[in-house]
């Protein structure tokens, strides 16, 4: 599929890298020749240098034949304009990165209709939603939702002396009478889609799926439910911090520490129910004065990954119950995990996942539709949700135990109407279902791809 990516900064380059890895014909468009040169040298893509809102530049990039045009520059207005022009010139689908909180839901819907946008993406808002989900379930490191929140997948690490240490999955099902499925285990660098005889060990990172109620019930049974978070301290007054504070204000006390005086003043006006502190959060004395030791959750959301990691580790040393860091560089995320920081959010990767999902949905035509895609366990496993639109002879109506599935494939959940099913061997996939599939080290564009 031919895809043009306009704007190859931090977000755009991550989008481009993920789409190129998917095998798409990607064209990198940017106004900086050094950036274009870097993209074409690192990735297997073509490059065009110029203004993405200029018709001649768009023509050179071949937007008239593009199946997907993505505008990810630092300017919302430039992104909307370039998408509008690309659509008028023939691009089949166009997606704009729009970050400004001033473009509220009502005006955004109007602009999407009038400009012909296929989708508007906001990395900071999506990251804030992920953070909000984690804060609502503070005992886990990651929460992914499917089928309008009727089905969830959570990641957590088994601590030393965990009650699950040494228990096989078959024994676990007998001991804890909850309908959850432990579907992925990461041990050191290895990732497993485990069977019933797999034995869990302390230090494992596990992913489990079930309905939200069943997950909460299981976490209570194994002693992992933390108290509800009431006090949140955020380092860095970024757009992500703004969106998260708006979500939290009704049920938690929020304090934001911001170094830039102008940004701090703006946040004071736009977040009247939050406490905004102007100061350098990198100074431990300030954090101590503002009560880091008594806060329930500490989040580092500055634009500097290294600072986010170091101050998150400091918060852990002060026994803050929940610590989360924002990082965009995968190598730093891996290093932070080795230092004991399990809860990390990457806006760049969140957006890349959304766009990979969108591109696969455009490719697919065989009776199912990719509705959700998440990368798990450092990108080694994908969790995909398919909507089964019509019957597929080799797949629907067949008991799962009789399906000849490819290695590294697990059907982790089925949503049928309002019913969430943790599937067993006798369950069948039916037309209309939404099916969650885990795929280790392979690419699925259609549900039928799981069959040999």
Residue 146 pLDDT more than 90?
A: no
pTM, rounded to two decimals: 0.88
Note the pLDDT of residue 159. 87
Bridge partners (DSSP) of residue 25 are 2
Domain 2-121: give its CATH architecture: 3-Layer(aba) Sandwich (3.40)
Q: What is the mean pLDDT of the chain?
A: 91
Residue 205 pLDDT more than 70?
A: yes
Q: How far apart are CA 100 and CA 239, in angstroms?
A: 8
Q: How far apart are CA 363 and CA 65, in angstroms?
A: 15
Which tokens sit at 57? Answer: 């530049």
Residue-by-residue DSSP string for 182-249: EEEEEETTEEE---TT-B--TT-EEEEEE-HHHHHHHHHHTT-PPPPP-EEEEES--HHHHHHHHHHT
Residue 256: which pLDDT band, with cuts at 50, 70 and 90? very high
Residue 310 pLDDT more than 90?
A: yes
Residue 121 pLDDT more than 70?
A: yes
Give the model confidence (pLDDT) of 7-54 as tens digits.
999 899 999 999 999 999 999 999 999 999 999 999 999 999 999 999
Residue 365: which pLDDT band, with cuts at 50, 70 and 90? low
Share of the chain above pLDDT 90, in %: 66
CATH number belonging to domain 231-345: 3.40.50.720
Every domain of the chain and the residues it spans? 2-121, 128-221, 231-345, 349-450
Give the model confidence (pLDDT) of 366-424 as tens digits.
556 788 889 888 788 999 999 998 888 888 999 999 998 899 999 999 999 888 898 98
Q: Going by CATH, does the domain composed of 128-221 fall within 3.40.50.2300?
A: no
Note the pLDDT of residue 178. 76
Q: Is there a common fold for 128-221 and 349-450? A: yes
Residue with tokens 């301290």: 233
366 or 121, greater pLDDT: 121
CATH of 349-450, one of 1.20.120.80, 3.20.20.150, 3.30.70.1450, 3.10.400.10: 3.30.70.1450
Residue 340 pLDDT more than 70?
A: yes
Give the model confidence (pLDDT) of 170-193 as tens digits.
899 888 877 899 999 999 888 999
């Amino acid at each position: 599929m031919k895809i043009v990516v306009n704007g190859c900064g931090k977000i755009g380059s991550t989008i481009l890298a993920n789409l190129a890895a998917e095998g798409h014909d990607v064209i990198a468009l940017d106004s900086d020749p050094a950036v274009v040169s870097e993209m074409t040298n690192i990735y297997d893509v073509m490059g065009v240098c110029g203004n993405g809102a200029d018709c001649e530049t768009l023509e050179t990039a071949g937007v008239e034949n593009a199946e997907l045009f993505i505008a990810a520059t630092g300017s919302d207005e430039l992104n909307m304009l370039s998408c509008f022009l690309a659509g008028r010139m023939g691009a089949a689908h166009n997606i704009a990165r729009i970050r400004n909180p001033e473009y509220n839901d009502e005006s955004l819907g109007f602009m999407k209709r009038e400009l012909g946008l296929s989708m508007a993406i906001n990395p900071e808002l999506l990251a804030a939603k992920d953070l909000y989900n984690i804060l609502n379930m503070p005992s886990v490191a990651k929460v992914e939702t499917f089928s309008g929140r009727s089905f969830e997948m959570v990641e957590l690490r088994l601590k030393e002396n965990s009650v699950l240490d040494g228990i096989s999955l078959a024994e676990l099902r007998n001991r804890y009478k909850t309908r959850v499925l432990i579907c992925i285990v990461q041990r050191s660098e290895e990732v497993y889609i485990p069977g019933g005889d797999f034995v869990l060990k302390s230090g494992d990172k596990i992913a489990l799926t079930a309905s939200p109620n069943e997950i909460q019930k299981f976490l209570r049974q194994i002693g992992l439910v933390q108290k509800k978070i009431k006090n949140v301290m955020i380092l860095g007054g970024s757009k992500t911090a703004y969106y998260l504070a708006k979500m939290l204000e009704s049920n938690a006390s929020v304090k934001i520490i911001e170094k830039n005086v102008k940004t701090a003043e703006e946040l004071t006006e736009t977040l009247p129910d939050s406490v905004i502190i102007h100061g350098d959060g990198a100074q431990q004395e300030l954090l101590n004065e503002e009560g880091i030791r008594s806060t329930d959750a500490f989040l580092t959301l500055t634009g500097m990954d290294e600072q986010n990691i170091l101050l998150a580790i400091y918060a852990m040393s002060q026994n803050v119950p929940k610590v989360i860091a924002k990082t965009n560089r995968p190598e730093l995320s891996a290093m932070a995990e080795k230092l004991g920081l399990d809860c990390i959010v990457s806006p760049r990767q969140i957006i890349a996942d959304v766009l990979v999902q969108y591109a696969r949905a455009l490719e697919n035509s065989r009776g199912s539709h990719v509705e959700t895609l998440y990368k798990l366990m450092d990108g080694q496993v994908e969790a995909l949700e398919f909507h089964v639109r019509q019957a597929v002879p080799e797949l629907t109506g067949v008991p799962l135990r009789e399906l000849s599935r490819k290695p590294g494939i697990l059907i982790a959940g089925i949503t049928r109407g309002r019913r969430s099913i943790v599937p067993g061997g006798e369950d069948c996939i039916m037309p209309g279902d939404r099916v969650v599939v885990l795929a280790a080290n392979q690419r699925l564009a259609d549900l039928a791809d799981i069959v040999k």
